[in-house]
C-alpha cells in the first residue's frame, strides 16, 4: 500500500506545485488534441511540464497511456497523472443533453446513462469527469443552458445527486467508477442577458433558494471535486470570492475535497480587474482554497515565491498536495496508473446504443398534438423534410469521444423502422440563422403533396448552444418557418420535430403545426428514437424542465416567480398592468408541460390531515387514471405555495415528483410525504426557516395546476 505522506516528504516545492497543475494533452503530445478553452494565455517551461500532475482533453486511451508512460519514466516520485475530461452526456455513446435529461424527470434513467458513461470513460482512460453541471438557469439565451437540467433547484438537485452517485459508485477504486467535479460554483447560469461569461448580480436570498442548493446536494452526495465558475458574483470572480469559497463552501458546508479552477480562470483574475498581476492572481486563488490550477501557469510561476515570502506556509501547500495524492490513491492510480484504459479505441456496443435510444425516447417532449400523432404504422409513403432530416449533427455540444457520423439520422431511423415504405428525404433549406436560400422549397412542397405523412425536421445547429454560444433570438429561423408554412400548407398530416440545445420560441410554428415533438439533441440513437415515437412504438413522456417563452423579450422567464402585482387576468395589455404591450407574460409552454399518447386524468388529491407541527408530516395521495387504452408514463408532480410569509414566496414551487408507468386504463394512487424542511425558505435575516401559516398544494404542472388543497403549519422553525 502506497504511503502518500512518505512520498510528500521527499517532494521538492516544484514537484508539489506540479500536483496542483493541470494542462491540455497537446502540451505532452505532438497532436492537435481537443482544446476546451483559450490556450494563448499559457506559458509553461518544458522543465515544469514533467512535474504536472493532471491532464485534460486527450483523444484516445492510447494517448492517455502514452502520456502516462512517458510521465512515469521521467518522474522520480512515480506519481501517476490524473486524466480528466468533460464527460457531460456520454463518453463514446452519446445520450441526450442534460437539459433533455431534466425533461425525463427520471433519476433512474440518469443513473443508468451515467453508469454507462463511467464504464466507457474508464476504458477511455478518464479518471475524473467535469460533471455534473448543476448551474441553475432561467435564461435560454445562455448557450450553456444545454448542460443544466433546468430552472428548478429541486429537480437539478435530484438529477445532480443521481449523477454523482452513478459516476462515483460505492467505491472509487472500482473499475466502473470515476470521480466527479461538480461545477460551476456558483451561479454561472445567472449571466446577465444570457451572455456567456457575463457578470452575475444576485441577492443572497435568490442565491440561497435557487442557485446554491444543487451544488450542496452534490457535495453531500460525495462529489470529490468542485470547480469555481468563470463569472463574477456580486462583483468578485468566483475563483477569488472569499464569501463563496470560504464562508459558504468551507466553513458553512464543511467541504474539504479538492477545488480545481476553470480553464485559465486564475490568470483571468487579472482580466476581471481584481488582481494587478499574475502573482496577485495566484495569491488570491490559493488563498481562496483553489487547489488545482487548470490551464494557466500562475501557480508554477508564483506559488514558490509566495511561500518564500511567507504569504503561504509549506503546510498549506502540503495540505493541498495531500488531498490530490489521496484522490489518486483512492482511485487506485498508484496500483495501476492506466486503471482500465483500453489499449485500442473503444467501440459503441449494441447494448449501449439501446440505453441511448431509450433515453432519447424518454427525454423528447410532445409540445403539441392535434391528433395527427402517432402516425399509422401502416404508412407507405412519406416525406422527411428539413435541415435535420438527414443530419448526423444531433448529438449535441460536449460530446466527448462521440462521433457525429455514428449517430442515426431521422431519415435513417424511419427507414430502419419502415423498410417497405417509400421515403423521400429533402433538406429544403439550411439550418443557419441567416440562411435565405429557398431554392429547395419547391421540391419539398412537391414531396409533401405526394406523401401520406410529412416529418418536418427543424431547429438550430448543435454548435449554437454550449460554451460561448449565446443567442440574441430564440425564434425558429425565418427560413425554416417559411418552409414549415409551405409544407404544412399542402399537407396537414405533418409532424414537426424540433432540435435545439435550449428552449426556443415556437410561437409562429405553433399556430400552423399540427404536432410538435421537441427532440433537444437526442444523441447517438436520435433518429431511431424519433421513429419509434412518431409511429407509436414509444409513447412520449418528457415534460419541460424549462419554460419555452412566447418571445425572446420575455427572458428571463421561469415558473417559480413571486406574485406579479397589478397583473389581473392574462390577456391584452391594460394601462397600469404588469403585461407587455404586445402580449401578457404567459409563456408559450410552461415548465412541466408535455403531452402523451395516453390520457391521464387527475382525479383526487387527498391529505392525511389539514394541519401539522414542525415535527409532523402530511401524507399526500394523488389518484391518477390512465383513461386511454395506451400504456404510458406520467410524471406526477407536487407543487406548493406558502401563502403569506415574511418574504414574498414563489406562486408555485415543485417539492416532489414521481415518474410512474401506467397500463392502459390503470388507476394508481401516488403518495408523497410533506415535511417541515420542504417548507423552508431564506428569510431577510439570512436564516433558512419555515414560518407558520397556510400552504396550498396542487398537482398538474405550472400554469395548469389542479386539485388544490390547503393545510396549515402550526409552528414553523422560525418560532423555535
Active-site residue set: 262
CA dihedral angle for residue 391, residue 387, residue 497, residue 587, rounded to 10 degrees: 120
Q: What is the DSSP string of 285-341?
A: HHHTT--BEESS-HHHHHHHHHHHTTSS-HHHHHHHHHHHHHHHHHTTTTT-TTTT-
Give me 62's grid cell: 492510447
Q: In the chain, what's the furthest Cα-to-Cα distance?
A: 80
* Cell, residue 701: 404542472
Question: Which residues contact residue 111 at a Cβ distance below 8 angstroms, ignoring those fewer than 6 apart?
Answer: 162, 163, 165, 166
DSSP for residue 192:
G
Nearer to ligand NOJ by Cβ, of 16 and 54: the residue is 54
Which residue's CB is nearer to ligand NOJ, number 86 or number 152?
86
Residues 343, 62 contacting (CB under 8 angstroms):
yes
For 264, other C-beta atoms within 10 Å of its C-beta total 21
Question: Based on CB atoms, which residue is closest to ligand NOJ, 86 or 342?
Answer: 86
Q: How do 667-675 and 681-682 pair as beta strands?
A: unpaired
Minimal distance in Å, beta carbon 25 to ligand NOJ?
11
**Spatial distance between the Cα atoms of 159 and 143, rounded to a whole number of angstroms:** 20
Residue closer to ligand NOJ (CB basis): 189 or 374 = 189
Distance, CA of 539 to CA of 631 (rounded, Å): 8
What is the nearest approach in angstroms of ligand NOJ to the Cβ of residue 223?
14
- For residues 295 and 317, give the distance between their C-alpha atoms in angstroms, rounded to a whole number: 19
- Tally of CA atoms within 13 A in the half-sphere of 592 that contains its CB: 24
* CB-based burial, 532-544: b 16+ in 10 Å, e otherwise: bbbbeebbbbbbb
Q: How many CB atoms lie within 10 A of CB 308?
A: 10
d(CA 7, CA 243): 34
Q: Which is nearer to ligand NOJ, 34 or 421 (CB)?
A: 34
Centre a 10 Å sphere on the Cβ of residue 319 and count the other Cβ atoms it contains.
13
CA-CA distance, 184 to 228, in Å (whole number)?
5
Task: Give the nearest distance from C-beta 521 to ligand NOJ in angstroms.
Answer: 17
φ and ψ of 406, to 5 deg: -90, 0
Spatial separation of the C-alpha atoms in residues 166 and 159, rounded to whole Å: 11
| C-beta of 36 vs 717, nearer to ligand NOJ | 36
Judged by the rule CB under 6 A, the positions of this chain that interact with ligand NOJ are 36-37, 56, 86, 130, 183, 262-263, 467
C-alpha pair distances (Å), 379 with each of 318, 374, 453:
69, 11, 8
* DSSP line for 523-583: -TTHHHHHHHHHTTSS------SS-B-SSGGG-S--SSPBP-SS--SSSS--TTSSS-SSS
Element (H, E) at 73: helix 61-74
The CB-of-710 to ligand NOJ minimum distance in angstroms stands at: 43
Q: Residue 115 or 183: which CB sits closer to ligand NOJ? A: 183
CB of 263 to ligand NOJ, least distance (A): 4
**Are the beta carbons of 586 and 632 closer than 8 angstroms?**
no
Amino acid at each position: 500500500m502506497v504511503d502518500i505522506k512518505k512520498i510528500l516528504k521527499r517532494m521538492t516545492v516544484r514537484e508539489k506545485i506540479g500536483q496542483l497543475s493541470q494542462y491540455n494533452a497537446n502540451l505532452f503530445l505532438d497532436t492537435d488534441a481537443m482544446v476546451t478553452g483559450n490556450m494563448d494565455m499559457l506559458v509553461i517551461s518544458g522543465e515544469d511540464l514533467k512535474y504536472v500532475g493532471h491532464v485534460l482533453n486527450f483523444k484516445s486511451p492510447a494517448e492517455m497511456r502514452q502520456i502516462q508512460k512517458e510521465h512515469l519514466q521521467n518522474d522520480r516520485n512515480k506519481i501517476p497523472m490524473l486524466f480528466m475530461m468533460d464527460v457531460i452526456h456520454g463518453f463514446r455513446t452519446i445520450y441526450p443533453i442534460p437539459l433533455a435529461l431534466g425533461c425525463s424527470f427520471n433519476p433512474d434513467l440518469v443513473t443508468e446513462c451515467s453508469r454507462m458513461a463511467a464504464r466507457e470513460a474508464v476504458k477511455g482512460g478518464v479518471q475524473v469527469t467535469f460533471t455534473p453541471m448543476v448551474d441553475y438557469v432561467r435564461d435560454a439565451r445562455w448557450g450553456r443552458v444545454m448542460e443544466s437540467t433546468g430552472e428548478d433547484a429541486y429537480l437539478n438537485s435530484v438529477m445532480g445527486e443521481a449523477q454523482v452517485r452513478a459516476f462515483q459508485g460505492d467505491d472509487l477504486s472500482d473499475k466502473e467508477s470515476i470521480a466527479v467535479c461538480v461545477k460551476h460554483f456558483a451561479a454561472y447560469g445567472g449571466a446577465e442577458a444570457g451572455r456567456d461569461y457575463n457578470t452575475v448580480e444576485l441577492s443572497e436570498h435568490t442565491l440561497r433558494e435557487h442557485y446554491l442548493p444543487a451544488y450542496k446536494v452534490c457535495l453531500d452526495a460525495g462529489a470529490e471535486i468542485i470547480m469555481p465558475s468563470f463569472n463574477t458574483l456580486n462583483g468578485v470572480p468566483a475563483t477569488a470570492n472569499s464569501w463563496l469559497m470560504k464562508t459558504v463552501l468551507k466553513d458553512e458546508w464543511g467541504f474539504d475535497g479538492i477545488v480545481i479552477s476553470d480553464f485559465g480562470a486564475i490568470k483571468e483574475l487579472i482580466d476581471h480587474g481584481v488582481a494587478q498581476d499574475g502573482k496577485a492572481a495566484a495569491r488570491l486563488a490559493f488563498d481562496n482554497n483553489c487547489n488545482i490550477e487548470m490551464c494557466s501557469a500562475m501557480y508554477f510561476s508564483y506559488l514558490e515565491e509566495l511561500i518564500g515570502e511567507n504569504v503561504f506556509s509549506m503546510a498549506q501547500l502540503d495540505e493541498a498536495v495531500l488531498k490530490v495524492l489521496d484522490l489518486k490513491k483512492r482511485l487506485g492510480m498508484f496500483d495501476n496508473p492506466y486503471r482500465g484504459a483500453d489499449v485500442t479505441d473503444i467501440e459503441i456496443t449494441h447494448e449501449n446504443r439501446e440505453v441511448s435510444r431509450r433515453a432519447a425516447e424518454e427525454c423528447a417532449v410532445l409540445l403539441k398534438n392535434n391528433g395527427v400523432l402517432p402516425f399509422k404504422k401502416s404508412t407507405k409513403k412519406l416525406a422527411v423534410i428539413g435541415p435535420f432530416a438527414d443530419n448526423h449533427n444531433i448529438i449535441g455540444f460536449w460530446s466527448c469521444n462521440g462521433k457525429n457520423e455514428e449517430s442515426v439520422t431521422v431519415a435513417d431511423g424511419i427507414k430502419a423502422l419502415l423498410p417497405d415504405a417509400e421515403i423521400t428525404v429533402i433538406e429544403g433549406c439550411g439550418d443557419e440563422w441567416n440562411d435565405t436560400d429557398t431554392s429547395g422549397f419547391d421540391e419539398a412542397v412537391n414531396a409533401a403533396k405526394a406523401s401520406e405523412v410529412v416529418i418536418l425536421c427543424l431547429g438550430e445547429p448543435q454548435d449554437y448552444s454550449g460554451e460561448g454560444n449565446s443567442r440574441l433570438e430564440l425564434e425558429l429561423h425565418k427560413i425554416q418557418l417559411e418552409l414549415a408554412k409551405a409544407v404544412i400548407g399542402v399537407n396537414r398530416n405533418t409532424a414537426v420535430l424540433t432540435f435545439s440545445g435550449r428552449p426556443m420560441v415556437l410561437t409562429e410554428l405553433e399556430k400552423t403545426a399540427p404536432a410538435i415533438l421537441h427532440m433537444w439533441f437526442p444523441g447517438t440513437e436520435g433518429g431511431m428514437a424519433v421513429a419509434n415515437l412518431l409511429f407509436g412504438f414509444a409513447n412520449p413522456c418528457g415534460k419541460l424542465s424549462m419554460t419555452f417563452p412566447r418571445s425572446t423579450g420575455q427572458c428571463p422567464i421561469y415558473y417559480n416567480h413571486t406574485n406579479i402585482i397589478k397583473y389581473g387576468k392574462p390577456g391584452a395589455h391594460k394601462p397600469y398592468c404588469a403585461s407587455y404591450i404586445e402580449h401578457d407574460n404567459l409563456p408559450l409552454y410552461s415548465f412541466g408541460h408535455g403531452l402523451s399518447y395516453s390520457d391521464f386524468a387527475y382525479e383526487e388529491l387527498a391529505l392525511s390531515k389539514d394541519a401539522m407541527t414542525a415535527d409532523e408530516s402530511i401524507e399526500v395521495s394523488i389518484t391518477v387514471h390512465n383513461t386511454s387504452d395506451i400504456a404510458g408514463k406520467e410524471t406526477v408532480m407536487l407543487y406548493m405555495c406558502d401563502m403569506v410569509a415574511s418574504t414574498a414566496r414563489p406562486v408555485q414551487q415543485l417539492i416532489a415528483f414521481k415518474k410512474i408507468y401506467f397500463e392502459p386504463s390503470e388507476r394508481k394512487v401516488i403518495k408523497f410525504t410533506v415535511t417541515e424542511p420542504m417548507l423552508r425558505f431564506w428569510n431577510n435575516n439570512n436564516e433558512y426557516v419555515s414560518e407558520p401559516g397556510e400552504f396550498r398544494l396542487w398537482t398538474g404542472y405550472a400554469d395548469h395546476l389542479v386539485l388544490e388543497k390547503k393545510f396549515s403549519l402550526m409552528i414553523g422553525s422560525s418560532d423555535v
